[in-house]
Amino acid sequence: MANLWQKFTKYDGNGWWNLPHSASNDPNPPHENPIGGSWLSNIIRTVTHGGVSHAGPGFYWLVGLFLAIITLLEVWLFGVEGLGGWYIPILLGLSALKFVGVVAFFMHLRFDHRMFTYVFASSMIVGILIFSILLFLLEFGHQPPN
Amino acid sequence: MTQAVTTQHHEPVENTSTGLNSRKLLMWAFLGSDVMFFGAFIATYLVYRGKSLVGPYPDEILNIPVTSVSTFVLLMSSLAMVLGLHYVKEGNRGKATLWILMVVVLGAVFMGFQFVEFREFAHEGLTPRTNIFGTTFFILTGIHGAHVTIGVIWMAFLAYSSHTGKLRPDNALDLEIAGLYWHFVDIVWIVIFTVIYLISATDGAPAGVERVIHG
């Protein structure tokens, strides 16, 4: 059983987590990020960048299964009554999990050069800012003066 | 002009100022701009959410079970995409072509679901001109659908390239860049499905507005 699991989750004799460093990582010094070597930067690095090459098919199937289960969970939650104010935050959280799953593993951001993460993450931050400002302005910008 | 050399890990190192492939960086920058593009449309939908003065309203018309199936189809197309890329890099032409074709098929199925949904909505009386819900809904999902259509055409060309042997491990980046686009279309739908469908599906007429029964 353990062998079957190893065969399924590993590729070419390497664990998907321990594949050789991508050559494109070489110009990037270790621990180089805006926050430095703090515990927070370690978490960010772990989540956004593994410093490893791409994984095998078994791992991708696992990620696909994970995404399918979350989608099922979302649809099931839609029919659950009594969640009240928790409904929207839970759905947004599950949606964010799927988002990160696809971006990190299917788009290989987890395994790719950190520069791609910076480009996409900075756009996401600007996008969320535009989103928030637009919501704020259009929601409160038309209030008649008292 | 960029040149690629191969290291001991068989990963190309681009001879550019960043050490990265310029086409791939460009695609990431484009996707970043598309985040803002879709962000603006989703924000607009949310601003006008629940402000339609005439029906049909979301609670009368959105079909969550059917859209859940189409969401699942699009998610699985992303899985097919990443498997296709894997087999191209491995040099397995048969499997690569099969999985890229699977992306085309699943993308086309998703478009079919959207076409049927739009036709059903029009039949129920919801068009982009009916109310503010119709306008914001059709613009957002329609633009997403246009992205999917472009992706399906792109993937069909790549499937043909793979079949004829023109897509090989040494130019797998062509598929990787197309794959980034395809996965992006998927993540946009993840947000749309949550915000437009699951969260808004119970929205009815705003307070003080009399609901008109359509039929």
**What average pLDDT score do residues B120-140 get?**
91
Contact A134 B186 (CB under 8 A): no
Say which of A53, A68, A131 has its CB closest to residue B43: A131
A9 vs A3, more confident: A3
pLDDT at A25 (0 to 100): 40
Q: Determine how many CB atoms are found less than 10 A away from the CB of residue B176.
A: 22
pLDDT at A45 (0 to 100): 53
Residue B185's CATH number: 1.20.120.80
B35 vs A18, more confident: B35
Within a domain: B158: yes
Contact A130 B40 (CB under 8 A): yes
Write the pLDDT tens digit of every residue in B79-115.
999 999 989 988 889 999 999 999 999 999 999 999 9
Average pLDDT, chain A: 71
The two tokens of residue B114 are: 């959207």
| Among the ranges given (A43-57, A74-88, A115-129), the one the predictor scored with the smallest mean pLDDT | A43-57
Nearest CA in chain A to B83: A57
Nearest CA in chain B to A69: B72
Question: Which residue segment(s) compose the domain that B128 sits in?
Answer: 22-199
Contact A102 B44 (CB under 8 A): no
Within a domain: B38: yes
Within a domain: B14: no
Whether the per-residue pLDDT at A26 is higher than 50: the answer is: no
Alpha-carbon span B209 to B77, nearest angstrom? 42
Task: Let me know if A5 is exposed, middle or buried by CB neighbors in 10 A (0-12, 13-18, 19+).
Answer: exposed
- What percent of chain B has a predicted confidence (pLDDT) above 90? 52
Q: Which of helix, strand or coil describes residue A49?
A: coil
Q: Tell me the nearest-neighbour CA distance from A35 into chain B, angstroms.
A: 21
Enumerate the residues of chain A whose CB falls inside 8 A of the CB of residue B36: 123, 126-127, 130
Say which of B13, B47, B199 has its CB closest to residue A88: B199
pLDDT at B212 (0 to 100): 64
Among residues 93-122 of chain A, which lie with CB inside 8 Å of chain B? 94-95, 98-99, 102-103, 105-108, 113, 115-116, 119-120, 122
Say which of B32, B43, B180 has its CB closest to residue A123: B32
Average pLDDT, chain B: 86
Contact A106 B191 (CB under 8 A): no
Alpha-carbon span B78 to B87, nearest angstrom? 14
Contact B190 A99 (CB under 8 A): yes
A vs B: CB pairs below 8 A: 146
Domain-wise residue ranges, chain A = 2-113
Phi-psi region of B122 (alpha: psi -120 to 50; beta: other; left: phi over 0): alpha
Within a domain: B204: no
The two tokens of residue B13 are: 């190192």
Within a domain: B205: no
Within a domain: B137: yes
Q: Which residues pair with A32 in a beta bridge?
A: none
Write the pLDDT tens digit of every residue in B7-46.
333 445 566 777 778 888 899 999 999 998 898 899 888 8
Say which of A53, A60, A122 has its CB closest to residue B11: A53
Total domains in the fold of chain B = 1
Q: Which CA distances in Å does B189 have to A55, B42, B82, B146?
A: 25, 11, 17, 12
Of A24, A117, A112, nearest to B12 by C-alpha is A24
A129 to chain B, any CB pair closer than 8 A? The answer is no
* pLDDT band for position A36 (cuts 50, 70, 90): very low
Within a domain: B15: no
Enumerate the residues of chain B whose CB falls inside 8 A of the CB of residue A22: 9, 11
Within a domain: B10: no
